Structure 1
Amino acid sequence: MQQQSAPDNAVVETPTPRPLRVVQWATGTIGARALRAVIDHPSVELVGVYVHSDDKAGRDAGELCGREPVGVRATNDADEIVDLGADCVLYMPLLFDLDEVCRILASGTNIVTTRGEFHRPAGMDPVVREAVEAACALGGTSIHSTGSSPGFVTEAVPLVLTSIQRRMDHLAIDEYADLSQRNSPGILFDVMGFGGDAGEFADVRLAHVESNFGPSLAALADTLGLNLDTIRTTGELATARSTVTVAAGTIEAGTVAAQRITVSGIRDGRELMRFRPTWYCTDQLDADWDLHATGWHITVDGDAPLDIDMRFPIPLERMSEISPSYTANRAVNSIAAVCAAQPGIRTTVELPLVVPVLA
């Protein structure tokens, strides 16, 4: 039977793609901000929220992130989440759980995470990588690690900046954070060691930072064809010249008031690239450090050299309110690309340019 063609003036309706069904896994500082972004997003649908604490279970998702009720209640039952058959889980817990991740992936649900385990598959623990890739193959799913740092500033931005180079001699990414108005005593004093004695930099702190940023730098180097020989991490401490009161408490004169960690990618015996965060509670230090406003300073030394400041134009008193968006938003904006990707552990370079839907 011959098909009749539609008249020239006929309106052909294109089906509207269904919203991607998304679960928010964990609602800490970054997770709550991601949850808010999902609720507000025009192209995704929140279908579930997983929480760890009993006091959050049963509460409406909107209540957990400063939005009006949306009719989706949080649960601490992982079975309920897996049974939803969502397109994607935004996985943002404090601790990584391999069995948890593999179960989600094997069920047919993709994962976008702000955890740092998946920036460079080649550098992962082989047992972990094999388990995750098997789960991806079983579920036909993919997983991607991203965020502001590492992620955006250690991968996405350098890839754009090096796109106009034909020779790169050195890449330096400096991160600055003025923590004077961050009211988090547990993090600043107990975890980061501000206000403590200025002895040797704790090895565990160096290892933690290296495990987060080393794989990201190595993945960038691999992509550029400049494979690194090793990652080297060092730390420096600076003390307060006088006693200072910050939002989190008091830092006595002579105690730690700033710290700087350098994660260096070494090639042929020299530093080819580095990521160096400088975190400080006051600029009145016993060290002559170059302290920028909160944000990033990036330099590229090559045949098309660049020197770029990327500052957060936010009053310090509002920093804790706004800064989580820098990490959470990139994860939310990556959902569609990760859902469309081939199964497996997917890196920044394997995904298309992350373009947000801002309607």
Structure 2
Amino acid sequence: MIKIIQVGLGPIGQQLTRYLTERKGIQLVGGVDLDPAKTGKDIGELAGINELGVSVSPDLGSAMKETEVDVAVISTVSSLQKIESQIKDAADFKLHIVSTCEELMCPFDLQTEIAERIDQYCKEKGVACIGTGVNPGFLMDYLPAVLTSVCQKVDHVKVDRYQDASSRRLPFQQKIGAGLTQAEFKEKGDSIRHVGLKESVYLLARALGWEMEKVEETLTPVLAEERIELDQILIEKGYIAGVEQIAKGYKNNEEVISLNFKAAVGLSRSYDSIEITGNPGFRSVIDGGVNGDVATSAIIVNTIRSVIAMNPGLKTMLEIPAPAYYSQV
């Protein structure tokens, strides 16, 4: 039985609670959230399920009293800089760490100093740490890396993730700028961007043994071609319906990796596509795409067993035993 403590009980954290409690072989023994309105509440009730007899604590120290824990599941922030102290707190209690933090997924090339500090601290405390999710962490980096295993030669990898955001949660729609004017979009700048696309380029490059000379990223708005009215959001014609974000990696002055993330309300089709140019060259398509909310929580749960089996330190998805759905009988 793997004993888990959750740190961060927002929308994704609450979904994780539901998934963790459904899975045989896992026992949820604690929850932590800084929101004082959540302190003392039953973590199950907070997640909209039956009470679990586990109360939300304001800090990790309080949650750890009189209980043994194996893993901290952290779903709090996207920033590597902001999550560093949370990782160290968990490591101080000898907890392995699995996190949804996008910048934690492959930070060694972009934020080298912080990544090395986290890696060294985890090694000193004897715990393993990993950041993962559906994207980054799987669809645009780990999965294409695995698909290249059948290639004798790879010249170029192109990944497209197109999502019609019409059925996604309101927070996701707001995250991609849906409903904003073009002026408001410009004012918000980087706060709208999908976090982790450059990290995905670097993870894929590491898998292929490619050293990136440069990685470029662009972000452009997707405009509504007609008025779109949903239950919780209204998008006028010409207003922002979503974003298109492209990251490209270069080797020997040539583009060798292209990642295209497009999420907008009203897209005609959702799909995930991986195209490999090489020997053999092929294209793999997931028609309809992978549901981001479901898959992010699922891969976090499924990675728990893998991270426990690892040597101490900050890991990437390339280093851990391949995660898969599991449930102890």
TM-score, with normalisation over the residues of structure 1?
0.82
Partners in 2 of 1:72 and 1:162 — Cα distance?
44
C-alpha distance 277-163 of structure 1, shift in aligned 2 (>3 A): same
C-alpha distance 196-245 of structure 1, shift in aligned 2 (>3 A): same
Code of the residue aligned with 1:56 in structure 2: it is: K
- Over the matched positions of the two proteins, sequence identity in percent amounts to 23
- Of 36, 40, 43 in structure 2, the residue corresponding to residue 58 of structure 1 is 40
Structure 1 residue 89 and structure 2 residue 72: aligned? yes
- Of 302, 305, 309 in structure 2, the residue corresponding to residue 340 of structure 1 is 309
C-alpha distance 332-205 of structure 1, shift in aligned 2 (>3 A): farther
1:158 match: 144
C-alpha distance 278-131 of structure 1, shift in aligned 2 (>3 A): same
Partners in 2 of 1:203 and 1:233 — Cα distance?
19
1:300 match: 276
**SS of residue paired to 2:148:** helix
Alpha-carbon contact 1:341-1:351 (below 8 Å) kept: yes
Alpha-carbon contact 1:264-1:275 (below 8 Å) kept: yes
Partners in 2 of 1:234 and 1:203 — Cα distance?
16
Partners in 2 of 1:121 and 1:259 — Cα distance?
24
C-alpha distance 61-210 of structure 1, shift in aligned 2 (>3 A): closer
1:227 match: 211
* Aligned pairs, number: 324
C-alpha distance 240-203 of structure 1, shift in aligned 2 (>3 A): closer
Alpha-carbon contact 1:173-1:296 (below 8 Å) kept: yes
Cα distance, 1:201 vs. partner? 7.0
Alpha-carbon contact 2:161-2:289 (below 8 Å) kept: no
Cα distance, 1:246 vs. partner? 2.3
Cα distance, 1:133 vs. partner? 2.4
Code of the residue aligned with 2:272 in structure 1: it is: W
Over alpha carbons, which structure has the higher Rg? 1
Partners in 2 of 1:92 and 1:183 — Cα distance?
17
Alpha-carbon contact 1:258-1:282 (below 8 Å) kept: no
Alpha-carbon contact 1:210-1:233 (below 8 Å) kept: no
1:42 match: 24
Any idea what the Cα deviations from partners look like across 1:30-51, whole Å, max 9, x if unmatched?
A: 2112111211111111110112
Partners in 1 of 2:108 and 2:238 — Cα distance?
43
C-alpha distance 158-204 of structure 1, shift in aligned 2 (>3 A): farther
Partners in 2 of 1:218 and 1:208 — Cα distance?
21
TM-score, with normalisation over the residues of structure 2?
0.89
> Which consecutive unaligned segments of at least 5 residues does structure 1 have?
1-18, 284-290, 315-321
> Which consecutive unaligned segments of at least 5 residues does structure 2 have?
none
